[in-house]
Each structure stands twice: as C-alpha cells, then as structure tokens.
Amino acid sequence: MTAPNMEELVSLCKRRGFIFQSGEIYGGVRGLYDFGPMGVELKNNLKQAWWAEMVYSRDDVEGLDASILTHPQALYYSGHEDTFTDPLVDCRKCKRRFRADHLSSAKCPNCGSEDLTDPRPFNLMFKTNVGPVEDEDSFAYLRPETAQAIFMNFKNILDTRSKSLPFGIAQIGKAFRNEITPRNFIFRVREFEQMELEFFVEPGTDEDWHRLWVDKRMEWWQSQGIAPNQLERYDVPADEIAHYSKATVDVMYRFPHGLEELEGIANRTDFDLGSHTKQQDTLEINAKVIQNEHSTTKLAIQDQNTKKWIVPYVIEPSAGVDRGVLAILNDAYQIETLDNGKTRTVLSLKPHLAPIKTAVIPLKQNHDGIMSKASALRRQLQKLKFGRVLLETSGNIGKSYRKHDEVGTPFCVTVDFQTLDDETVTIRDRDTMGQDRVNISKLADLLQSRLD
C-alpha cells in the first residue's frame, strides 16, 4: 500500500466529485475551491463529528452561529487591523508577488530575478460595504477567524445560558483571508471553514487547561482515522506566535507537501475579552477618526462566592475544516495490489465520515423487477438515517465497486435475480472485499451495527 502524492489526491477529488476549482469554466480563481457531491458529505460529516465531540458530549459548551460580515471596530480592538499581516515582496521584473517568509532565496521563484522590493506588511482581511452606499462609513470586514464573534457574544451567551467557569462556546463557519500565495490545493486558500472553541477558564488554571486541550485534540484527530505517526505537536516559538497568544501548540500533520499545521491550540489569555471591554474616546479605523463608538459592555463573569468580577482566560482549539478534509483524504487513500497483480484505489474512511454509507446496486438496470426492488430497498435504508444511501446505476457491477471503493463507501448491497426469489441480497465490505448473502429483513440491523 502506498500513500498518495498531491497530484493523485487532486485527481481523485476531481474525478469522483469531491472538490473542484472554483469558477473553473472561466479559468478558475486562485485559492478558491468548491466541494462537490462527495466533498460536501465528507465535510459535513467531519463538522458533525467535531460538533458531537465539542458540544454534545459535554455539559460545559454552548454553540453559536454568528454573522460573517464583521463590525470594523471589533477587528480594530482585536488587533487584526494592525497586526494581521504577512510580509509581501514584489518582483520588479515579472511583477509577481510573494510572501517573503515563503521565499527560499533572495531570487524571484517565478523568473529568477534578484530585483525584489523590501518586504512590507500586507493586511489579509477582505473588506466590503454593507448597504447601498459605498463609502467609509459602510465598510465591514469578512471575518478572518470565527473567534471574534464568540468574544462579542460572550455576554449574550452568559446572560441566556447562566454559565460558570470553566465553560466554552463553539462555532463552525467560514473565514476569509486574502492570502498572498494560496497553494497546496485546499491547504492554503482564501475562503475556508474553521471549527473553533473558545474555552473560558479562571486565570491561573489556563496552563493546565491548555495542556489538556492539546492532548484531547491530538486524540480526536486519531479517532477520525488519522494514523498517530502522521501527527506531531509543535510548540510555537515566541517569535512566531500570534499577537493575542501567550502560548500556542500546533497539531501538525504530514500533508502530501510536508509537515504543516492542521490545528492550533492557543492560550489567548484575557487579551480578547479585555480588548473588547477597553474604553477609548477616539479610535482610528481606515484612516478615519471615530468618536465614542467603543464597546462599553463588560465582558467579564462574576464569581458567585466572592462576587468579584473576573475577565476569564481563553484556551482556543482552532481547526481548519478544509485542512481536516485534506488530511483525512490523504490518510484514507490507499493503492492496494491485489492477489491477481492488479491494483485498486480505495479510500479507507471511517464509516461515520464516508460520503455514502451504503450503495444499492441493481445487477441489471434494464430489468424492471430488479430496479424497483433496488429503489425500494434504497428508500427503506435511507429511512434509517445513518447517512446517505445511494442507488448506483452508472455502470456494471465491477465498475460500481471500483467507484465506491474510490469514494470510500463502506458497503455495497447488490440486488440480483435471486433477490426476486428469496429476498436475499449480497453485501460487500469495502475493506475486505468479502461478500455475504443476507436476507433483506436482517440488512438494517447488520448495516447499523457495522456502521456504528
């Protein structure tokens, strides 16, 4: 068995309907991708697994789904206006732009020229206007992280859900960064999704909680099918750490292009809640001085015993959905050599992540009896609600098996002539390729137990 390179993964994703270049019919847009029929299922399954772990399995976490367009002052006080930058250099000869910290030499990677500008900070946030008038009063940002909306809703959630420390707020949603050099397929893109938890703790307990969340997150990625030797933890050194963090540990994954960050777990201290509570009379946003528009909401929690107000510290496990999908596809992708010397490509996805849980395949697609039996069986299995069940009518049985191996369908159920006589079907296991003949009346329980 061999692991894929990036080209093989990209090719599988396109061929089997996982991921397409965005705007492909117009030549595509760099750093933007669309998730196709298989991709959207895999992505939703991964998000559901994260939500189940971070929200449903706990008593101390609440969910949130906040707006993407973000008040500019929020991103002023969060420090993003000043510091959310990458160092940009221009090649004066070919006019291409690069991230200075991604250059391996003082030469332009495109044309080899040494005539490069000095690095200058480039802010990664996208701006847009809210409402019909495009002026400085109407601008807003597309959020660069989901986290800020959690901080801004801290009091709302505290008031409505009466929490005490420690507790968390979880959110999954889109984030946008105008990356200078998007690259490596869906690894570094301009529009992506994050799964973020802001876990509020008492100052002084933060370092213990940080360690605990790092361990939990390393374990969780393994429970999603990632081999332990594909993961590493990286203690981010002080000179690389984000402006809001006291300490950050990254969960690193061996992507096809190298060992890189899959998730970051930061100790954000009281930086964000503190910043949003600061009272200032004037502030400058977008070169414009705004008077008295600061937040006066107190983002703090009262200790029920001492009655003292505490600004909690925050531990933040922040994972990228797109990077998660890439890692999971990479780990699941196998090319197996069979006994007869042929090869097969198979995605050995954990059943809960598989886009299709079961494919029902009619042996003859031009036979009315077999077709109606297969359709009825698909509808019956779909009602079990363990995920998508598909009627596969696109080819012969061998091709159908190969196709479903490549999208990671754990089970294929074939309806044939014998089914019409004795109500039995064959069930084929993706990983062993073994086939059993079972009665339709036993199928639901069998699939349910194997998918669980």
Which residues in this chain contact ligand GAP in the complex, by CB under 6 A? 145, 147, 177, 179, 188-189, 192, 194, 196, 261-264, 316, 318-320, 322-323
CB of 27 to ligand GAP, least distance (A): 21
166 upstream amide cis, omega within 30 of 0: yes
Shortest Å distance, C-beta 318 to ligand GAP: 4
- In the complex, minimum distance from the CB of residue 354 to ligand GAP, in angstroms, rounded to a whole number: 22
Task: Work out the angle at residue 120's Cα, subtended by the Cα atoms of residues 117 and 124, and round it to the nearest 5 degrees.
Answer: 125
In the bound state, the residue with its beta carbon closest to ligand GAP is 320
The alpha carbons of the chain give a radius of gyration, in whole angstroms, of 26
Residue with Cβ nearer ligand GAP (214 or 262): 262
- DSSP readout, 258-312? EEEEEEEEEEEETHHHHHHH---SEEEETTEEEES--------EE-TTT--EE--
d(CA 228, CA 251) in angstroms, rounded, equals: 11
Of 408, 308, 316, 314, nearest to 359 by C-alpha is: 408
DSSP letter for each residue of 356-400:
-SEEEEES-TT-HHHHHHHHHHHHHHHTT-SS-EEE--SS-HHHH
Minimum CB–partner distance for residue 161 and ligand GAP (Å):
22
Q: Rank residues 319 and 440 by Cβ distance to ligand GAP and give the closer one.
A: 319
- Please state, in angstroms and rounded to a whole number, the distance separating the CA atoms of residues 329 and 14: 13
CB closer to ligand GAP, 264 vs 408: 264
Residue 84 Cβ vs ligand GAP, minimum distance, rounded to whole Å: 9
Tell me how far, at minimum, the Cβ of 322 lies from ligand GAP, in Å: 5
Nearest residue (CB) to ligand GAP, 154 versus 192: 192
Q: In terms of CB distance, is 241 or 438 closer to ligand GAP?
A: 241
Rounded CA separation 295/328 (Å): 41
Q: How far is the CB of 183 from ligand GAP (least distance, A)?
A: 10
Q: Is 48 helix (H, G, I), strand (E, B) or coil?
A: helix
In the three-class reduction of DSSP (H, G, I as helix; E, B as strand; rest coil), residue 340 is classed as: coil
265/359 with CB nearer ligand GAP: 265
Q: Of 322 and 416, which CB lies nearer to ligand GAP in the complex structure?
A: 322
